[in-house]
């Protein structure tokens, strides 16, 4: 079955001028099978599962993520919808979750964090697809989640304990299913390096979604594509011409930061970025920090030293303390 889902994925992607390929040092990656032009949509995908950020205060509709005219589901009193149309579209997926949440004790608010709820929805969607209550397709099936990178062997012990505790919570919410707690903990680790923050056009975070095809795209600090959202639909658009056989890349992090900050922000993904921007560290970082060396004979820039209240010129190595730089 796994092989046939993999073939179906390649077939679906080939129809969109894309392919999954093995990229040395990066695992899988998404590669263009034709030229894409700047602004062109490379791929768009609905989330396999998603959840709004502020679940219990009704910040957005569970289906379309708009924030107007929200009404609570009268059964579980957790989920919000903007219209009966959105509620109907979600019903097949919501009904099991609704029953489970309605049966929870009054203090359930503490349990139902967005990440826990994302996991509950993932487990229920797999069940519904296995039972053919809802359809699967080449880009919407659990196999795609199964093959996501987890980096579980690199996760530290405290985080593993947290994942195990979260798996236990999921088990409390879905007591009638025989859940494999170890597998759930493993899947939480997949969320950490694959789930996306869904943002509005002003880049305010609205929720979290798992888009397992978009998750095949690797990171670059000089990406050739960008990930944007319309509601909870994710679009990857080309930022520049992408030629046939070129790897598609997006940035997982805020690209305006200096190299050290970017590498720190990438820690949760367990790789050291070796994009062209990261290997040519110095010049750009100095410009981003933008403090000129005080030495008149030097045209270098001052960089902050980690953990110290001092700045050192990247060219002549002279250090200045923070007060002096501020002055």
Q: Least distance from C-beta 101 to ligand SAM, angstroms?
A: 29
Q: Least distance from C-beta 173 to ligand SAM, angstroms?
A: 27
DSSP 146-170: HTS---GGGS-HHHHHHHHHHHHHH
**Which of 61/193 has CB closer to ligand SAM?**
193
* Strand-pair partners of 50: 209
**Which of 33/278 has CB closer to ligand SAM?**
278
Q: Least distance from C-beta 172 to ligand SAM, angstroms?
A: 29
Looking at beta carbons, which residue is closest to ligand SAM?
27
Burial class (CB in 10 A: 0-12, 13-18, 19+), 61: buried
Q: Least distance from C-beta 13 to ligand SAM, angstroms?
A: 14
Cα–Cα distance measured from residue 17 to residue 75, given in angstroms and rounded to the nearest whole number: 44
**Which of 22/296 has CB closer to ligand SAM?**
22
Residues at the contact surface with ligand SAM, assessed by CB under 6 A = 25-29, 148-149, 151, 193-194, 215-216, 218-220, 269-271, 273
Cα–Cα distance measured from residue 177 to residue 175, given in angstroms and rounded to the nearest whole number: 6
**Which of 270/291 has CB closer to ligand SAM?**
270
Cα–Cα distance measured from residue 200 to residue 128, given in angstroms and rounded to the nearest whole number: 29
Q: Least distance from C-beta 248 to ligand SAM, angstroms?
A: 11
**Which of 42/273 has CB closer to ligand SAM?**
273
**Which of 28/263 has CB closer to ligand SAM?**
28
CB burial of 141-150 (b: ≥16 within 10 Å; e: otherwise) equals: bbbbbebbbb
Q: Least distance from C-beta 147 to ligand SAM, angstroms?
A: 7
Which two structure tokens, joined as six digits, stand for 176? 């009638």
**Which of 31/313 has CB closer to ligand SAM?**
31
- Range 164-173 contact pairs with CB under 8 angstroms and sequence separation of 24 or more: 166/115, 166/116, 166/119, 169/111, 169/116, 170/116, 170/119, 170/120, 170/123, 172/111, 173/100, 173/101, 173/104, 173/111, 173/112, 173/116, 173/120
Q: Least distance from C-beta 150 to ligand SAM, angstroms?
A: 9
**Which of 16/151 has CB closer to ligand SAM?**
151
Output DSSP code: residue 29: E
Q: Which helix (H) or strand (E) holds 264?
A: helix 259-265
Q: Least distance from C-beta 217 to ligand SAM, angstroms?
A: 6
User: Is residue 184 within 8 Å of residue 170, measured between CB atoms?
Assistant: yes
What Å distances lie between residue 229 and 45, 46, 87, CA to CA? 10, 10, 21
């Amino acid at each position: 079955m796994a092989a046939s889902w993999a073939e179906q994925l390649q077939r679906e992607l080939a129809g969109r001028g894309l392919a999954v390929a093995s990229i040395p040092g990066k695992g899988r990656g998404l590669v263009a099978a034709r030229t894409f032009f700047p602004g062109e949509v490379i791929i768009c995908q609905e989330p396999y599962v998603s959840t709004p950020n502020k679940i219990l205060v009704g910040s957005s509709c569970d289906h379309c993520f708009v924030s107007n005219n929200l009404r609570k589901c009268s059964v579980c009193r957790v989920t919000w919808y903007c219209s009966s149309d959105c509620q109907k579209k979600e019903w097949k997926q919501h009904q099991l979750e609704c029953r489970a949440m309605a049966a929870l004790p009054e203090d359930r608010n503490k349990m139902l964090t967005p990440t826990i709820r994302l996991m509950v929805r993932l487990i229920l969607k797999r069940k519904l697809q296995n039972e053919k209550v809802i359809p699967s397709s080449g880009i919407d099936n659990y196999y795609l989640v199964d093959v996501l990178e987890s980096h579980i062997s690199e996760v530290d012990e405290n985080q593993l304990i947290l994942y195990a505790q979260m798996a236990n919570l999921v088990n409390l919410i879905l007591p009638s299913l025989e859940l494999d707690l170890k597998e759930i903990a493993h899947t939480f680790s997949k969320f950490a390096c694959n789930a996306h923050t869904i943002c509005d056009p002003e880049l305010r975070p609205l929720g979290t979604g798992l888009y397992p095809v978009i998750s095949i795209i690797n990171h670059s600090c000089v990406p050739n594509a960008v990930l944007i959202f319309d509601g909870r639909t994710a679009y990857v658009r080309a930022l520049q011409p992408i030629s046939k056989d070129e790897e598609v890349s997006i940035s997982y992090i805020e690209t305006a930061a200096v190299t050290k900050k970017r590498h720190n922000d990438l820690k949760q993904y367990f790789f050291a970025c070796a994009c062209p921007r990261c290997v040519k560290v110095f010049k750009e970082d100095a410009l981003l920090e933008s403090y000129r060396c005080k030495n008149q004979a030097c045209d270098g820039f001052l960089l902050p030293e980690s953990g110290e209240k001092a700045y050192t010129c990247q060219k002549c190595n002279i250090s200045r303390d923070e007060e002096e730089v501020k002055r």
